[in-house]
Amino acid sequence: MKFKKKIKPYSSAAGGWDSIKSTARFVFDSHAGFKSIRSLLNINKNNGFDCPGCAWGKDNKSTFDFCENGAKAVAWEITNKAIDRTFFSKNSVKFLCNQSDHFLEYQGRLIEPLYYNSQNDHYEYISWKNAFQLISKHINAMDHPDQIELYTSGRTSNEAAWIYQLFGRMLGTNNFPDCSNMCHEASGIGLNLSIGVVKGTVNLNDFDNSEAIFVFGQNPGSNHPRMLHSLRRAFDKGAKIVVFNTLRERGLERFSDPRKPIEVITPLHRIINSAYYQPNLGGDMAVVRGIVKCLLEQHRSTKIFKKGGIFDIDFIKNKTYGVNDYFKVIDNTNWDQILLQSGLTKEQICEAASIYYNAKKIICTWGMGITQHKHSVNTVREIINLQLLFGQIGRKGAGLCPVRGHSNVQGNRTMGINEKPDIIFLNALEKYFKFKPPQSKGHNTIEALNAMIKGKIRVFISLGGNLVAAAPDSIYAKQAFSRCGLTVHISTKLNRSHLVPGKESLILPTIGRTEIDKTINGNQFITVEDTFSMVHSSQGKCKPLSKKQRSEIAIISELAYQVLGDDKIKWNDLANDYNLIRKQISEVIPGFTELTNKSSVFKGFYLKNKASKHIFNTLSKKAQFSSAVLPKTLFANLDLEVQFTLQTLRAHDQYNTTIYGFDDRYRGIYGQRNILFININDINTLGFKEGQYVDIETIWNDGIIRSIKKFKLVAYNIPIGNLAAYYPETNVLIPMDSFGDYSYTPTSKSVPVRLKLSE
């Protein structure tokens, strides 16, 4: 595919004809022929496969339920292009290191196991048998089970995640760093502290019944395009859509439904928001605090005339704890601080408050703009506070909705991919499988990388994902990998992590969601859980490219068998019949009894959410208001004046570290990615000109220089002092010790930087 460099503001709505054109382009480029069309028709169908694109729920209201970016994800996976030992004999790792992320994945699917030959710097074919022997040898040589890191990326099925965590815990470790650590960790922690669950409280139908939807810090136009249908339907029914986003994102402004021909061929697109506010990066806690301050004033004044004021006093009294402390903290937060931090005016904040007040049923959704800051847990809790004041949780058409990223990242956590598992889960494992799971906390992603850099980790296994590229502080992350004894990547495509081998390294090729997973017991299906806690089946329809590719379940169970034997668990039986895995899950994890019922699983079933029934499993057994003060600074350990804060985000043509192409259509960027979005006034203040190139350097206090060169200045609708550039090119700028309080999530949305013109 050709990528022409151009910068031209995008004038159309999100969706529409361009979306169809783009889908066709990527499908055509996949070199998969008819297979691709058939695959697209099977996305999110009851007997089809779950879209690997994102975690948004299945919408049974239309004949086809995929979007442009879901189609890209599928086209990317089902390509007929493949790379084998010949490719690797031609290309050394050193050569591949100098290629772009797009180049690496674009070469095609991995189809045979590979071993890194450090003598000649090439990957070479290795048999599965020898690969497993090598891994077992390294694991058996460990002095302690915590010398292994078992990383997971959220595409993995429930079944694979289940046996993976079982393998790790039987080995004796809770070292399960995962992509969630870098993603929605703050949501899980905040929700758990406030309302005793780790998941959102709404379902897809709530969007059709809500009167207002507050969307904080997320870009559904690119990252959850199917969410636009829900927003649009709600908007058409009269709901107010209120957006808080540092950038003007086209998908949150105008949308024409590519599934409606009339909207595609005419300018019948719709505006889909009622109000659009652009807070400073990290300013949302101050925004919500401001909203509550307005409402509290109103509450107190109406209390005089109307019994009880505007808040849901019954709910607050009976179901919550800590409101008085929260009110105290609201009173002690002055408007100057709120306005400075939020970057909004008091009028804007009070306007948002009044929209909130005038609706009865309100959903708050959020994404990475909320979770990737230092004070993210407190920000999530502030959003929950607002919802608690009006008793929004558990009401039809209302509640809390963290919009998860990877298609099964929520399911992975439910299955126990968690470095800090709760004791009830561990006890249930112990009782069922008759072994003592490790009780001490394992490593999250940052802790894993820190242990790796100290040379403490002998084996790193990656079940999907691309941690070298997704992690902060890229140079440090690479060093960390190179100090492991053995790195093992179970992957579909070649990526940056494969190019940073430990002392030894393996790449194991696996099949993906779109592919037929056949064992001696016939075709298998897997299950996943979406962001609304709906569990459903997924079954691929395409023939795998090679007989040497194995399913994730086959790979993990063989490994477990070789390392642990089959005294306690018949791993090979599990590998051949996934129903046996589902049986275990259904008997160990509460709420999963339907998992063994095929028709329930094909239709999808809902995992109950206690908070939405007003059962709050918190310390006080009530929903807890948080009374945190606003943060003093966005940056850990930093007293310096910072002129610019940088957020690192996704372009339209990428899936995390997978770069499908070099366009970011809705932001008017074509054929390039080294772009820095900046306010025109900042360009002028610096005495720079639009289109010039700048070097970006992190301001930090450890003496390490973190910088990237030659990023093109693009004037954009973004508040003064705020910058944006794409991930993963910018990950090198994020210090490893810059992470969220309690969450350990890298502060990918608030990096303090300075700029200078490139030479």
Ligand X SMILES: Nc1nc2c(c(=O)[nH]1)N[C@H]1C(S)=C(S)[C@@H](COP(=O)(O)OP(=O)(O)OC[C@H]3O[C@@H](n4cnc5c(=O)[nH]c(N)nc54)[C@H](O)[C@@H]3O)O[C@H]1N2
SS (H, E, C) 594-649: HHHCHHHHHHCEECCCHHHHCCCCCCCCCEECCCCCCCCCCCCCCCCCCCEEEEEE
Q: Which stretch binds ligand X (CB under 6 A): 5-13, 85-93, 466-474, 698-706?
A: 466-474
8 Å CB contact between 178 and 462: no
Q: Rule CB under 6 A: which of 192-231 touch ligand X? A: 216-219, 222-224
Show the tokens assigned to 728. Answer: 């993963």
558 scored as a contact of ligand X (CB under 6 A): no
315 scored as a contact of ligand X (CB under 6 A): no
Residue 749 touches which member of ligand X, Mo ion, none, C-beta under 5-8 Å by kind: ligand X
Q: Which stretch binds ligand X (CB under 6 A): 291-299, 322-330, 365-373, 559-567?
A: 365-373
8 Å CB contact between 459 and 147: yes
8 Å CB contact between 752 and 688: no
Tally of CB atoms within 10 A around 331: 10
8 Å CB contact between 243 and 252: yes
53 scored as a contact of Mo ion (CB under 5 A): no
696 scored as a contact of ligand X (CB under 6 A): no
Q: Compute the distance between CA of residue 48 and CA of residue 33 in angstroms, rounded to an integer.
A: 19
DSSP secondary structure, 295-313, as one string: HHHHHHHHHHHSTT-SS-H
Binding mask 270-309 for ligand X (x = CB under 6 A): ---------x-xx-x-------------------------
The distance of closest approach from Cβ of residue 13 to ligand X in the complex, given in angstroms and rounded to an integer, is 17
The distance of closest approach from Cβ of residue 178 to ligand X in the complex, given in angstroms and rounded to an integer, is 8
The distance of closest approach from Cβ of residue 555 to ligand X in the complex, given in angstroms and rounded to an integer, is 9
The distance of closest approach from Cβ of residue 406 to ligand X in the complex, given in angstroms and rounded to an integer, is 5
Residue with smaller CB distance to Mo ion, 162 or 655: 655
The distance of closest approach from Cβ of residue 132 to ligand X in the complex, given in angstroms and rounded to an integer, is 16
CA gyration radius, the chain: 25
405 scored as a contact of Mo ion (CB under 5 A): yes
Residue with smaller CB distance to ligand X, 734 or 755: 734
474 scored as a contact of ligand X (CB under 6 A): no
DSSP secondary structure, 49-98, as one string: B--SS--PPP-TTSS----HHHHHHHHHHH-S-EE-HHHHHHS-HHHHHT
Q: Rule CB under 6 A: which of 444-463 touch ligand X? A: 463
The distance of closest approach from Cβ of residue 658 to ligand X in the complex, given in angstroms and rounded to an integer, is 5
Residue 249 touches which member of ligand X, Mo ion, none, C-beta under 5-8 Å by kind: ligand X
343 scored as a contact of ligand X (CB under 6 A): no
Binding mask 52-91 for ligand X (x = CB under 6 A): -xx--------------x----------------------
For 178, residues 6+ apart whose C-beta sits below 8 A from its C-beta are 151, 152, 153, 154, 409, 412, 413, 417, 418, 419, 445
Show the tokens assigned to 271. Answer: 């505006």
Residue with tokens 């922690």: 189
512 scored as a contact of Mo ion (CB under 5 A): no
Q: Which stretch binds ligand X (CB under 6 A): 190-198, 238-246, 350-358, 681-689?
A: 238-246
Three-state DSSP class for residue 755: strand
Task: Say if residue 747 is exposed, middle or buried (CB neighbours under 10 Å; 0-12, 13-18, 19+).
Answer: buried
List of residues contacting Mo ion (CB under 5 A)? 183, 405
List of residues contacting ligand X (CB under 6 A)? 53-54, 69, 105, 153, 155, 179, 182-183, 216-219, 222-224, 244-247, 249, 279, 281-282, 284, 367-369, 372, 405-406, 463-467, 470, 490-493, 495, 510, 512-513, 552, 647-650, 654-658, 727, 730-731, 734, 748-749
